[in-house]
Structure 1
Amino acid sequence: MSSAAEKLSAEFDPITIEIIQSSLSAITDEMFATMRRTAMSSIIYEVLDFGVALFNERGELASSGSGIPGFIGMLEPGVAAITKKFDADDIRDGDIFMLNIPHHGGVSHINDVVMILPVFSHGALIGWLANKAHWVDLGGAFPGGISPDATEIYQEGLQLPGIKVIDRGEVNQAVLDIILINSRVPETTKGDFWAGVASMRAGQKRFLSLAEKYGDDAVRYAMTDYLALGEKIARAAMADLPKGAFTAEETLEDGRVIKAAITITDDTFSVDLRGNPAQTKTSLNSSRDATFVDCQMIFKAITSPETFGNAGSFRPIELLTDEGSIFDAKYPAAMSIYYETSMLLFDLLWKALAQAMPNRLTAGHYASICGTFMGGPHPETGHVHGIVEPQLGGWGASKEHDGVNALYTGYHGDTFNVPVEVTEQRNGLMVDRLALNEASGGEGERIGGKGILLDYRILAEDWWLTMAYTRSETGPWGLEGGLQGSTNYVEVVKANSEPVRYSACTAIPLGVNDVVKVYTATGGGYGDPKKRSREKVLEDIKNGYVSKERAKEIYGVDG
């Protein structure tokens, strides 16, 4: 601890400092609630596809609110991108910045728009607030801006290179006009923009009240102390981790091999991703910032998942990548489906550690965001809109428990599915069926959780579908003799036609009474299936988890 910090430590009592630290969490909670209540699109107010965070004056993550961990983790380099681009004299009270270019820091793909607000108290910078949310459409060659077929970022939508959209409290109307004219859903885009502004201004009000009550120095010290505590907790938890090198690899459906090596020592958690495939002329690429978040999430999961997360929590992590690889893609690589690359990596890191940590990590889960993008005119109003929905899937079994049915991926955090009633009323679709997927797979002494079967019926002409699901050919991996799970894919059923199966597609046309059938995977099983008790197998048959024929084949149980 520096002499200045020691002086401040003696000046402030620990109870006051803890109150301030708890208040930081309350601030981000209020930011989250404000965004949820004011957003226009269901991907934000229902799915909760966004994240908020608070930073100290140096741009280090001090408090992470609810939301998608992958979003929150990328916001710190987003603040760094703004401080790198703008001189200190050009960052003023009342400013709000926007950025959405993933290669330049803090962004995942163009649709995930980052908004950043500097907080000044008594004329000096005291911290930063940030908000990141998935906007439904920002133009580009494809509706919704998402396409597995994109070859460069220019096709994916309007780029916002760290611009000042609000200058000392005054909106730059020209910038906002450019954003809205490039969106296929300008009313929704405008609403989500102002929801982001409202979220940060709510946080700013609470942040300044905290500084006014306890003083700027106390708040600054509390944030510094909070980061030190986060690091202390993380390093203490590392003592219980297995030490050594752990590796895993997967063969992608196009034949390429991805690999990861994790080395854990007393002081470091090192992830080596060198030697992976080069970035592609598709959008299955991710930035280094997105890759680092994967490392943060798996590290947090195995160290202290029950405690808060801040910049200090992740100081033991080291990351090695090759520039220009799929995990560290360079401009102008397309990245609209970066989330599938990130999900593949998260699952790969999980797999590398699972053999050594069977009490903490399960067998593989469905490991795809299964992002489903649809749009067209509402059948009642004719208003053209787009919708975005990630899908639920099955989690892998563990040493002690069966896998969980119909849950979002480990990447999603506090995400929820859109209720059927909202989908039908607001989005103009009919949901014919939402049920557990009965596909075989994931059998073991402990069984993998089930994915879902979701049928969307289209009710108007001129609709479209875009999607890209990984694990569509090879299911989630099992552990200790548990069987592989089933797979993720979509079937499109048109009138008087056979179903057509897709693992990826871009803006395929849909019309009245076409049905989009979503199938998500069962998680991997754990342990030899022959060790599953007869009573449990009979219960599985009763619950529809396994057919009588499959039970006899795999478990040797005649139901």
Structure 2
Amino acid sequence: MSGFDPVTFEIIQNALEAVTDEMFAAQRKTSMSAIIYEVLDLGSGICDAEGEIAASGAGIPAFVGVLDKAVKRILDKHPAATIRPGDLFATNDPYWGGVTHLNDMILALPVFSDGRIVAWTANIAHWNDVGGNVPGSMSSEATEIFQEGVRVPAVKLFAAGVANEAVFDILMVNSRLPDFLRGDLWAGIAGVRIGERRILELIDKYGAACFTAALEDFMRLGERHALAGVARLPNGRYAFAEEQDDGAVYRVTVEITDDSFVVDLTDNPPQKGSSNSSREGSEISAQLAFKAVADADAPGNGGFYRPLKVLTRPGTVFHVEAPGAMGYYSEVEIRLFDLILRCLAAHIPDIVPAGNFASICGTVIGGPHPDTGRHYTIVEPQLGGWGAMKGRDGNPAIFSGFHGETYNCPAEVAEARYGLTVDELALTVAEGGDGRWRGGKGISVRYRVRADDNFLSVGYTRTRVPPWGVAGGGDGTPNFVEVLRPGKPAERYAFGTNIPLNRDDVIHLVTGVGGGYGDPRERDPLAVRRDLRDGYITPEHAEAVYGLR
């Protein structure tokens, strides 16, 4: 841009990435809940004055994708002319910019220079309990959002630097874990404030005009990368339909031209229960799939997504209408992410791997702590196996690409903070995902309950339809949950709410093996022997599938 140094632009752009990482670290280190400080179930970012994402920090990619949509909804409700320095907004309502479900709270702070908004700092994190009809606020039996917890519809948490104590009180009184909620809330506030401070330091150094110009230049850079990526993809119109665990069929059509990438979701089932996605959430799934195939290394800012268009139909599973429930929105969005990739797999095989376990595998366990009697709730996503791709085996025991660079809660932390004993945390013994390159292993976790009157709520998909193999590779294995009660048959679940648990009951969580790539008979014998040595396969399986004697 005329009048500014492009080297300075790059310094500012890289500084913004560093600022978002610092925001993330501040929130992580000051949070109360293990799902934030251990699992990293959060995301941070910086938006420009109009709400376009300008820089994204660490955390869940699907969470970072929420932030621009939340800021734009805040601006719809609160025009820029009515916003003052020191205002800070909160929203968790998917019908008011929250996008996901009520457990995920977004905080957004406008950054002012010379009396006008030049940027926004924003973050999102999962809170363990925001009220509703079940502990953990996630019920597979919910039919309306009113049953899922307290709704915060893009309101001012602070006005001109002064806390709105009424909002704080409403949040605390609606949670079964008010102390944790308070700590997690203030951690989020710290995150957006440290971001504001660092942006103002950049503006003091380079000037507001240069800062704004650098954001605009960064958006154009993102768009150039996206257009170049789209140009490398094969033009065409590709359709795919996949049956889901419950028998419903999800459909997608992807149309690629020289300069556009259109995802059509209009032909899909009606919204139902709590497994629905907002229209914005479906857009995020499409954005993540588009990023993966167009240019995984390019800046993930608002400019990058300009060639993408998403078509939905209101009232469907991918475009829920009020007052539809969304407690398990994540299973719908991850199914869509996987559906788009599977639609394109045959057309760009060197980019898209075989199917992965592709479920958040949301697990909520709680009840009275056996040592203190105080209510506890553990909320965990689970690790699983990734699909193989040409030239390499799938990764074992890792979160899905949709969930990003997050981590499991260590057994020592789970036992110290929650009323459970971890009997097992290991790779699953299930065999599947065979191929010239094999799928990665899922995990097997056994939690032993230490007190009566506990509960379990779960939401797992890919429990009947396994991860898919490619080019002759075998399918993977499904995800599932078992409750093992002394002296009784095992109870198997995919979705369940408030399943009663008592002392010495065991919750057995099993996640899937990823799909394989290529004919198993073409696998390197040395690799098969290594799999035998590492316990990935049995001798019988090595002989029957891979021909190794």
- When normalised by structure 1's length, the TM-score is 0.96
Asked if 1:88 is matched to 2:80, the reply is yes
Match of residue 488 from structure 2? 497
SS in 2 for 1:144: coil
Amino acid at match of 1:303: A
Asked if 1:485 is matched to 2:492, the reply is no
Match of residue 533 from structure 2? 542
Asked if 1:269 is matched to 2:261, the reply is yes
The alpha-carbon deviation at position 359 of structure 1 amounts to 1.3
RMSD (Å) for aligned C-alpha atoms:
1.2
Query: How far apart, in 1, do the equivalents of 2:195 and 2:453 lie?
Result: 41
Amino acid at match of 1:387: I
The alpha-carbon deviation at position 106 of structure 1 amounts to 4.1
Amino acid at match of 2:114: H
The alpha-carbon deviation at position 499 of structure 1 amounts to 1.4
Match of residue 227 from structure 1? 219
Show CA shifts across 1:157-194 (max 9, x none). 00111111111111111111111000000000000110
Query: How far apart, in 1, do the equivalents of 2:165 and 2:98 lie?
Result: 24
Match of residue 168 from structure 2? 176
Asked if 1:200 is matched to 2:174, the reply is no
Cα 1:309–1:404 shift into 2, 3 Å: same
Match of residue 321 from structure 2? 330
Query: How far apart, in 1, do the equivalents of 2:141 and 2:10 lie?
Result: 50
SS in 1 for 2:136: helix
SS in 1 for 2:446: strand
Query: How far apart, in 2, do the equivalents of 1:207 and 1:444 lie?
Result: 50
Matching residue within 289, 292, 314 for 2:305: 314
Match of residue 43 from structure 2? 51
Matching residue within 59, 62, 65 for 2:54: 62
Query: How far apart, in 1, do the equivalents of 2:152 and 2:343 lie?
Result: 37
The alpha-carbon deviation at position 494 of structure 1 amounts to 1.3
The alpha-carbon deviation at position 379 of structure 1 amounts to 2.3
Matching residue within 331, 342, 360 for 1:340: 331
The alpha-carbon deviation at position 285 of structure 1 amounts to 0.4
Q: How does 1:142-541 map to 2 (within 5 A)?
A: 142-280=134-272, 282-541=273-532
Show CA shifts across 1:396-421 (max 9, x none). 11111111111100111121111111
Alpha carbons 1:75, 1:107 under 8 Å: kept: no
Amino acid at match of 1:202: I
Query: How far apart, in 2, do the equivalents of 1:223 and 1:342 lie?
Result: 29
Match of residue 114 from structure 2? 122
Asked if 1:105 is matched to 2:118, the reply is no
Query: How far apart, in 2, do the equivalents of 1:243 and 1:163 lie?
Result: 44
Query: How far apart, in 1, do the equivalents of 2:450 and 2:186 lie?
Result: 31
Alpha carbons 1:400, 1:446 under 8 Å: kept: yes
The alpha-carbon deviation at position 508 of structure 1 amounts to 1.0
The alpha-carbon deviation at position 277 of structure 1 amounts to 0.4
SS in 2 for 1:11: coil
The alpha-carbon deviation at position 305 of structure 1 amounts to 1.3
The alpha-carbon deviation at position 557 of structure 1 amounts to 2.9
Alpha carbons 2:444, 2:509 under 8 Å: kept: yes
Identity of aligned pairs, percent? 48
SS in 1 for 2:342: helix
Amino acid at match of 1:114: I
SS in 1 for 2:108: strand
Alpha carbons 1:141, 1:157 under 8 Å: kept: yes
SS in 2 for 1:143: coil
SS in 1 for 2:29: helix
Aligned residues: 549
Show CA shifts across 1:197-235 (max 9, x none). 110111111111111111111111111111111111111
Alpha carbons 2:98, 2:105 under 8 Å: kept: no
Query: How far apart, in 1, do the equivalents of 2:148 and 2:502 lie?
Result: 25
SS in 1 for 2:47: strand
Query: How far apart, in 1, do the equivalents of 2:515 and 2:404 lie?
Result: 21
Query: How far apart, in 2, do the equivalents of 1:377 and 1:122 lie?
Result: 53
Alpha carbons 1:115, 1:196 under 8 Å: kept: yes
Query: How far apart, in 1, do the equivalents of 2:526 and 2:202 lie?
Result: 58
Amino acid at match of 2:33: S
Query: How far apart, in 2, do the equivalents of 1:545 and 1:462 lie?
Result: 38
Query: How far apart, in 2, do the equivalents of 1:321 and 1:217 lie?
Result: 38
Residues 104-113 or 510-519, more deviating: 104-113
Query: How far apart, in 2, do the equivalents of 1:163 and 1:555 lie?
Result: 60
Query: How far apart, in 2, do the equivalents of 1:495 and 1:303 lie?
Result: 52
Alpha carbons 2:59, 2:406 under 8 Å: kept: yes
Show CA shifts across 1:263-320 (max 9, x none). 111100110111110111x111001111111111111112221232100011110111
Asked if 1:42 is matched to 2:34, the reply is yes
Query: How far apart, in 2, do the equivalents of 1:550 and 1:103 lie?
Result: 51
Match of residue 5 from structure 1? none
Query: How far apart, in 2, do the equivalents of 1:544 and 1:247 lie?
Result: 39
Query: How far apart, in 2, do the equivalents of 1:485 and 1:103 lie?
Result: 37
SS in 2 for 1:262: strand
Alpha carbons 2:80, 2:117 under 8 Å: kept: no
Query: How far apart, in 2, do the equivalents of 1:88 and 1:398 lie?
Result: 48
Query: How far apart, in 2, do the equivalents of 1:340 and 1:243 lie?
Result: 30
Alpha carbons 2:376, 2:419 under 8 Å: kept: no
Alpha carbons 2:461, 2:494 under 8 Å: kept: yes
Amino acid at match of 1:188: F
Residues 17-26 or 32-41, more deviating: 17-26
Alpha carbons 1:76, 1:106 under 8 Å: kept: no
Query: How far apart, in 2, do the equivalents of 1:425 and 1:415 lie?
Result: 21
Residues 55-64 or 234-243, more deviating: 234-243
Cα 1:13–1:155 shift into 2, 3 Å: same
Show CA shifts across 1:104-125 (max 9, x none). 3342111011111111112111
